[in-house]
Structure 1
Amino acid sequence: MSLSSKLDELEELTSNAKQIQDDVLEEILKVNTNTEYLRRFLGGRSDKEFFKKNVPVVSYEDVRPYIERVAKGEPSDVISGEPITHFLISIERVAKGEPSDVISGEPITHFLISSGTSGGKQKIFPVNKKYFENFAFICALRSSILSKHIDGVEGGKVLTFLNIGLLSTTPSGLPIASAVTSFLMSDIDGFKKRDSVSVTLGGPNLELADLIEHACSQKSWEGIITRLWPNVKSIQSIVTGQMSQYIPILEFYSNKLPLISMTYASSEAVFGLNLNPLCKPQDVSYTFIPSMSYFEFLPVDARDNDEIVDLVNVKLGCFYEVLVTNHFGLYRYRMGDILQVNGFYNAAPQFKFIRRRNIVLSIQVEATTEEDVLLALNNARLVLESSGLMLMGFTCYSDVSSVPGHYVLYWELRTKNFNGIVKLDNKVMVECCYVVEESFDDSYKRFRSRYGSIGALEIRVVQQGTFDSIMEYFISAGASPSQYKTPLSVNSPEVLAILEDRVLARFFSDKSPPFLGEGSKDGSQEAANQRQSN
């Protein structure tokens, strides 16, 4: 399909978002209303308002027993051991020729597995061919958008690094793998790997090998990407959420090439695209494509489900948790992603990823979120860089083994020079501790500074390679290399043991951050401005 026709399709989809969303839900309910799961709430009805009134909002633990039954090969509630009334209903449905599958009226063909590094446990999600069709459509649309914004990209080459894991199977014999592995090994995917690359690259090239060796043997690898590929136009990578911590590293290696974060997708659903790919990483937002799944939005801090709104009814500037109803067995499923509406493209809203719903750190009743930690980290990074150091990896946890408890950050550092020796300046590291604390909100500062019930923040510097060891631990436990994300916070005894075994030095904040009083959400920014002016 041509560039213009794909972009025309984007215009049609986003202009008719409400009707398309209604059509998607109607299609989902038509196929799935007689599944065991939905029949409990709908009794065979399939209208939108009845669905919104009666089907509950759920998390993974609510639907896990159903998913596991499908993975084991149970096709219907006839064999599920339900009470006799459900058994009789099932007999009637089978006699009438009605489908009675557990969660999906159409066959499940694959299971996608999450990395397990965000929430601490791996999850599996049922999908069918529709998921891969959606993913292929988004990939094609993504290419059209990039071609519109970057001259010559459609005639150039793309170097993509993908970690493909081995396929395993569920007890019922269905394939189970990460989303990337499943997509690349599906019939939908249009390319297969090593032979095609070999044909493109040709045979050995000794002259080119010498040039690469020379480039890599320089004192610093700053700008190494542009030295190896002088015609490179951009880098595509996820740079939102907890992955934003790697933006400075990517900029260091790439001479600040445009960092493009194009797609918002997960094992549960494909959501949307960044229609302004050349924007700054901190300004990335994703336009939801209404044909992918049925989307609803729960306002952050909402007290009841009556406040849930449809895709086209979200309000500019407001924060929501996205709910997904898809074609393969998830209904009003809480994703755990907190998004902010920051614009509209035609009738389709655009969302900025803010954080995961989980609280990352807490000692008392303060709630330090993923967003809080990443903001504090970026502020401290400025202090680090002034001393020639780079933060290569980090994680944190709430240490309550002593009183008062305190926050601990594990940092892996290296110099900007490739083989430089990391020299830790006590003054610099203590200042980093303070800047992190100063960046937190007044809830933290109240307990830290006024009441003394949170102790001084601690940074523990670990050996180089520590976070590679943590990645290897998770992969050995079943995590997919292509989906791995360093956990933002840890509570696993095994991971903490890896970290503690590699601690080189410990530093503590030497003063309490200023507490500016009740209700001052901008207190951290005011304090930072005051420190800068001094």
Structure 2
Amino acid sequence: MDPPRLGSAHRILSALDTDEQVLRFVEAITSDVASIQSELLQQILADNADVAYFHRHGLFGVPSAEDFHSRLPLISYQDIELDVARIASGDEDGHAKILCARPVREVLKSSGTSGGRQKLFPKLSDYDPEFLVLNRVARPFNTGKSLHFIYVRNPEVTPGGVKLSSGLSGYFTSPAFRNRKIDPATSYTSPDQVLQCVDYIQANYCHLLCGLVQRDQVVSVGSVFASTFVRSLKSLKCQWRDICQDIAEGAVNSRIVTSLPVRNAVNAILRPDIELADAIRKECCGGNWRGIVRRLWPEARLVQTIITGTMQQYVSIIDMLTDGLPIASSLYASSECSSLGVNLDPVCPPSEVLYTLFPCFAYFEFLPLENRLSAPDEDQGQEERSFVSCDNLVKLADVKVGDEYELVLTTKAGLYRYRVGDILKVVKFHNDAPQFAFVRRAGVLLSVDMDKTDELELHKAVTQAWNRHQEHSEIRLVDYTSRVDLSSQPGHYIIYWEAFPDPQILELDVCCFELEESLSVVYRRNRREGSVGPLEIKLVRQGTFDKIMDHVVQNGGASYGQYKTPRCAKDPKVVSILESSVIAKGQARYMQTST
């Protein structure tokens, strides 16, 4: 297949039927990156000519690529927050389009767990052919069912008629999903009524029940995020007795599953099976959860879930639960642009995951790490966070192997030179397309004095400290978060840990020492000089991070499937949950004098 021109790319995307066609398209689309990106930018500018945002920056008519690069600044969310709020309210009349010339009838909500609050981003259509292609490319197997833990929320509709939802909820509750072509050999184990169930407890129970009833057909298990997958499996500890009873009787428990459509859909695939119920009961009753996934789903060949960034910390507990099943971290997507790229080697080791950005999905630019004056953060002032120099922005085809960049997006839906906040490292190229490792989210997480600890530094320090202390233990770190306590003088870091299956008495003072030794040179210098106080680790009881998830989802609008643990606890209620759940704590005693 010759490299497709952009005008035909989306027609090709919509018509791809076979895996061979998809892979040929991938080869073609990654072989002419510069031309496709240039054509896409010209199309975006032509399609959105005369929008109010362009007028604001002195652009009238159809801007040229030169106008785009010279006139439009780098922006963060605060620069367009009022614009998106107007779009979400339906405040467009067809004569004064704000960001996008086409009508916007859907707005995607971010989870709010990365940056501290939800953000809204315009979306053009009910679904993207890109999304379907990414899933096809990332699918490691052509046959077999998937036990996928999907959790959604009901989309909201504004008074202006605009739909508000997360990307996941929007797709699974859309006509595009309901009317999709279903292949029984490669479908989900859960019926659509379960996939679209907005009650987490009922959905979780039914996912497990349906997956166990069809256990011999399941070739993959997973969820969007690794944290969701772990939580979904942990619930089996409390639910296996009821599930076994339902399987033996051939009917779902109406006390647990109260939704009649969901109950009817699940009952349709149940039949009394005492032998299966006994087999599951035998595996669960002993309390041995090591390798439980392999034992309950003997045909499962991999876990499909995102384990990049701070999700890496869940790899060890997933390995324990699955007895080392391969983990496929397949897709790279975001609320800003639902389809970005794919891992072309989905069953590679978690530490080697690389994403290839498809040049026809968005116009990509990259801010070299050394040129980032500040991170896109809502706590920063307008001058500091916006209008960073664009002089050193690098195009997709021109990035260099070994360099790190912040991702900058221009989309068909009306984001222009938007700083996503993802830090990516170029590792190699596939044809003309660079392949990136996700490094971290931008921005400082913890700071007391001159120390500035970001998400990646904290993750590495926590992981190293835990691994050194618990290298030969069966205990796994379930989750962690942190905060700065400025009520003490000097202020200090507090790290909260939850362990599984049963936390033994940990030498937390030693863990504190190990963790501090893993932090930056600047942090350790400030500790020795006394401008930063000794770090604390607080062990919280099991289920604490589930309570935090429940609080964030119920009060913030994110769905369970979209949720990511905040690595810095800023919400007073979250801090209260953590502090009320502490069962043990330790504090660092001293710092070594050497650096």
Task: Answer yes or no: is the 8 Å Cα contact 1:114–1:480 preserved in 2.
Answer: no
Matched, 1:60 2:145: no
DSSP 3-state at the match of 1:341: strand
Deviations 1:37-89 (A, max 9, x none): 1222222232112101101111111101000011111115xxxxxxxxxxxxx
Change (3 A) 1:299 1:200: farther
Question: Which of residues 494, 510, 529 is equivalent to 2:589?
Answer: 510
Q: Matches of 1:16 and 1:255 in 2, distance apart? A: 42
- Report what 1:177 is aligned to: 165
- Report what 1:155 is aligned to: 143
The 5 Å alignment of 1:376-391 reads 376-382=461-467, 383-391=469-477
DSSP 3-state at the match of 2:539: strand
What's the TM-score, normalizing by structure 2?
Answer: 0.78
Structure 2: which amino acid aligns with 1:223?
G
Question: Which of residues 206, 217, 226 is equivalent to 2:274?
Answer: 206
Task: Answer yes or no: is the 8 Å Cα contact 1:72–1:172 preserved in 2.
Answer: yes
Deviations 1:7-35 (A, max 9, x none): 10000000011111111111111111211
Change (3 A) 1:126 1:25: same
User: Mind listing any 5+ residue stretches in structure 2 that lack a counterpart?
Assistant: 1-16, 183-190, 196-209, 211-265, 374-388
Q: Matches of 1:60 and 1:330 in 2, distance apart? A: 10
- Report what 1:257 is aligned to: 325
Matched, 1:433 2:512: yes
Shift of residue 131 of structure 1?
A: 5.4
Task: Answer yes or no: is the 8 Å Cα contact 2:477–2:498 preserved in 1.
Answer: yes
Change (3 A) 1:200 1:324: farther
Deviations 1:341-371 (A, max 9, x none): 1111000111111111121111112211111
Once structures 1 and 2 are overlaid, which stretch shifts more, 391-400 or 180-189?
180-189
DSSP 3-state at the match of 1:155: coil
Question: Which of residues 5, 13, 18 is equivalent to 1:2?
Answer: 18
Shift of residue 423 of structure 1?
A: 2.9
Question: Which of residues 119, 122, 132 is equivalent to 1:126?
Answer: 122
Shift of residue 388 of structure 1?
A: 3.8
Matched, 1:141 2:137: yes
What's the TM-score, normalizing by structure 1?
Answer: 0.86
- Report what 2:235 is aligned to: none
Shift of residue 188 of structure 1?
A: 3.0
Matched, 1:361 2:446: yes
Change (3 A) 1:35 1:381: same
Matched, 1:287 2:356: yes
- Report what 1:525 is aligned to: none
Cα RMSD for the two superposed structures: 1.8
Q: Matches of 2:593 and 2:422 in 1, distance apart? A: 31
The 5 Å alignment of 1:213-292 reads 213-269=281-337, 270-292=339-361
- Report what 2:66 is aligned to: 49
DSSP 3-state at the match of 1:343: strand
Deviations 1:304-345 (A, max 9, x none): 320001100111111101011111111111101111111110
Q: Matches of 1:381 and 1:59 in 2, distance apart? A: 35
Q: Matches of 1:514 and 1:17 in 2, distance apart? A: 51
- Percent sequence identity is 37
Task: Answer yes or no: is the 8 Å Cα contact 1:434–1:513 preserved in 2.
Answer: no
Question: Which of residues 537, 546, 571 is equivalent to 1:492?
Answer: 571
- Report what 1:470 is aligned to: 548
Q: Matches of 1:138 and 1:187 in 2, distance apart? A: 19
Shift of residue 385 of structure 1?
A: 4.4
Q: Matches of 1:63 and 1:325 in 2, distance apart? A: 13
Once structures 1 and 2 are overlaid, which stretch shifts more, 388-397 or 338-347?
388-397
- Report what 1:168 is aligned to: 156
Change (3 A) 1:468 1:199: closer
Question: Which of residues 539, 550, 560 is equivalent to 1:481?
Answer: 560
Q: Matches of 2:587 and 2:281 in 1, distance apart? A: 42
Task: Answer yes or no: is the 8 Å Cα contact 2:126–2:174 preserved in 1.
Answer: no
Structure 2: which amino acid aligns with 1:128?
L
Task: Answer yes or no: is the 8 Å Cα contact 2:109–2:335 preserved in 1.
Answer: yes
The 5 Å alignment of 1:85-124 reads 100-124=96-120
Q: Matches of 2:526 and 2:34 in 1, distance apart? A: 46
Q: Matches of 2:132 and 2:425 in 1, distance apart? A: 26
Task: Answer yes or no: is the 8 Å Cα contact 2:169–2:559 preserved in 1.
Answer: no
Deviations 1:494-526 (A, max 9, x none): 11111111111210123314542xxxxxxxxxx
Deviations 1:398-431 (A, max 9, x none): 111111111100111233xxxx4x3314xx2222
Question: Which of residues 369, 393, 401 is equivalent to 1:308?
Answer: 393
- Report what 1:352 is aligned to: 437
DSSP 3-state at the match of 2:459: helix
- Report what 2:479 is aligned to: 393
Q: Matches of 2:19 and 2:592 in 1, distance apart? A: 54
Q: Matches of 2:158 and 2:413 in 1, distance apart? A: 17
Shift of residue 185 of structure 1?
A: 2.3
DSSP 3-state at the match of 2:525: helix
Task: Answer yes or no: is the 8 Å Cα contact 1:446–1:515 preserved in 2.
Answer: no
Shift of residue 202 of structure 1?
A: 4.8
Q: Matches of 1:514 and 1:6 in 2, distance apart? A: 58
- Report what 1:530 is aligned to: none
Shift of residue 453 of structure 1?
A: 1.2
Shift of residue 206 of structure 1?
A: 2.1
Q: Matches of 2:81 and 2:273 in 1, distance apart? A: 53
Task: Answer yes or no: is the 8 Å Cα contact 2:22–2:133 preserved in 1.
Answer: no
Question: Which of residues 536, 544, 551 is equivalent to 1:458?
Answer: 536
Task: Answer yes or no: is the 8 Å Cα contact 1:339–1:355 preserved in 2.
Answer: yes
Change (3 A) 1:204 1:165: farther
